[in-house]
Amino acid sequence: MGGKFHTTYEQDMAILQSLWVKVWLGILVFLLMLCPYILTRYQLSILNEMAIAVIGALGLNLLVGYTGQISLGHGAFLAIGAYTTALCADNLGLPFVVTLPLSGFMAALLGMIVGVPSLRLKGLYLALGTLAFGFIVEYVLFHWDIAQGDMGLSVKPISVLGVSITKEQHFFYVAVGFAFLATLCAKNIVRSKIGRSFIAIRDRDIAAEAMGIPLAKYKIMAFAISSFYAGIAGALTAHYQKWIVPGSFDLSLSIAYIAMIILGGLGTILGAVLGAILITGIPHGIVLVTDILKESYPKLSGLIVDLKLGIFGLIVVLALSFEPQGLAGIYRRAKTYWKTWPFRY
Amino acid sequence: MEKIFGVLLNGLSMGAIYALLALGFVLIFKSTGILNFAHGELAMIGAFVCYSLAMQYGLPYFIAFMLAIAFGALLGAVVEMVFFRRMVGEPIFSTIMITVGLASILTSVAGVVWGHDVYPLRGPFTDKTVLIGGAVIGQGAVYTLLISLVLFGAFALFFTRSLLGVSMKGTAEDPHTASLMGINVNRIHMVAWAIGGLVAAMAGIFLADQSFVRLSMSHTGIKAMSAAILGGMESIRGAVVGGLLVGIVEGLAANYLSGAVIGGFHFGDIKEVAAFAIMIVVLMIRPQGIFGSEKVERV
Whether residue B222 and residue A131 make contact (CB cut-off 8 A), yes or no, is yes
In this model, does residue B297 exceed pLDDT 70?
Answer: no
What per-residue confidence (pLDDT) applies to A12? 76
Q: What percent of chain B has pLDDT over 70?
A: 97
Whether residue B92 and residue A123 make contact (CB cut-off 8 A), yes or no, is yes
Question: How far A197 CA sits from the closest chain B CA (Å)?
Answer: 17
Q: How far is CA A145 from CA A132, A152, B209, B272, in A?
A: 22, 11, 36, 18
Summarised one tens digit per residue, pLDDT across range A203-243 is: 888 899 999 999 999 999 999 999 999 999 999 999 999 88
* Confidence bin at A262 (pLDDT 50/70/90): confident
* E strand segments, chain A: 153-154, 158-160, 163-165, 243-244
Strand pairing category for A153-154 and A243-244: antiparallel
Summarised one tens digit per residue, pLDDT across range A148-201 is: 777 888 888 887 777 777 788 889 999 999 999 999 999 999 999 999 999 999
Interchain CB contact of A184 with B (< 8 Å): no
* Confidence bin at A4 (pLDDT 50/70/90): low
In this model, does residue B234 exceed pLDDT 90?
Answer: no
In this model, does residue A2 exceed pLDDT 70?
Answer: no
Whether residue A132 and residue B280 make contact (CB cut-off 8 A), yes or no, is yes
Q: How far is CA B76 from CA A267, B39, B62, B64, B190, in A?
A: 32, 10, 21, 18, 8
Whether residue A316 and residue B269 make contact (CB cut-off 8 A), yes or no, is no
Taking the C-alpha atoms of residue A46 and residue A44, their distance in angstroms, rounded to an integer, is 5
The structural domains of chain B, with segments of one domain joined by +, span 2-217
Which of A124, A127, A143 is facing B268, going by the closest CB pair?
A: A143
* Confidence bin at B296 (pLDDT 50/70/90): low
Mean pLDDT of chain B: 85
For chains A and B, CB pairs below 8 A equal 143
In this model, does residue B27 exceed pLDDT 60?
Answer: yes
Whether residue A132 and residue B276 make contact (CB cut-off 8 A), yes or no, is yes
Angle between helices A269-293 and A327-340 (to 10 degrees): 100
Q: What is the DSSP letter of A157?
A: P
Q: Looking at beta carbons, which residues of chain A come within 8 Å of B28?
A: none
Answer with the residue of higher pLDDT: A83 or B58: A83
Taking the C-alpha atoms of residue A260 and residue A126, their distance in angstroms, rounded to an integer, is 19
**What's the mean pLDDT in B44-61?**
91
In this model, does residue B269 exceed pLDDT 80?
Answer: no
Answer with the residue of higher pLDDT: A341 or A232: A232
Q: Looking at beta carbons, which residues of chain A come within 8 Å of B289?
A: 125
Say which residues have a Cβ less than 8 Å from residue A192's Cβ, sequence separation at least 6.
none
Q: What is the DSSP letter of B58?
A: -
Q: Looking at beta carbons, which residues of chain A come within 8 Å of B107?
A: 306, 309-310
CB burial class (10 A; 0-12, 13-18, 19+) of residue B177?
exposed
What per-residue confidence (pLDDT) applies to A345? 63
Summarised one tens digit per residue, pLDDT across range A322-333 is: 877 778 888 888
Say which residues have a Cβ less than 8 Å from residue B34's Cβ, sequence separation at least 6.
B28, B84, B95, B96, B99
Whether residue A125 and residue B266 make contact (CB cut-off 8 A), yes or no, is no
**What's the mean pLDDT in A266-290?**
89
The structural domains of chain A, with segments of one domain joined by +, span 48-340
What per-residue confidence (pLDDT) applies to A293? 82
Q: Looking at beta carbons, which residues of chain A come within 8 Å of B277?
A: 132, 136
Number of other residues whose CB lies within 10 A of the CB of residue A112: 15
In this model, does residue A109 exceed pLDDT 80?
Answer: yes
Whether residue B266 and residue A133 make contact (CB cut-off 8 A), yes or no, is no
Interchain CB contact of A255 with B (< 8 Å): yes
- Domain A48-340, CATH 1.10.3470 — does that match? yes
What per-residue confidence (pLDDT) applies to A247? 86
Q: Looking at beta carbons, which residues of chain B come within 8 Å of A118?
A: none
In this model, does residue A1 exceed pLDDT 50?
Answer: no
What per-residue confidence (pLDDT) applies to A3? 63
Whether residue A132 and residue B102 make contact (CB cut-off 8 A), yes or no, is no
* Confidence bin at B299 (pLDDT 50/70/90): low
Report the sign of the C-alpha dihedral through residues B284, B288, B289, B291, in that order: negative
Interchain CB contact of A131 with B (< 8 Å): yes
Question: How far A207 CA sits from the closest chain B CA (Å)?
Answer: 6
* CA-based nearest residue in chain B for residue A260: B97
Instruction: Specify which of A183-187, A245-249, B291-295 reaches the highest per-range mean pLDDT.
Output: A183-187
**What's the mean pLDDT in A39-48?**
91
What per-residue confidence (pLDDT) applies to A186? 95
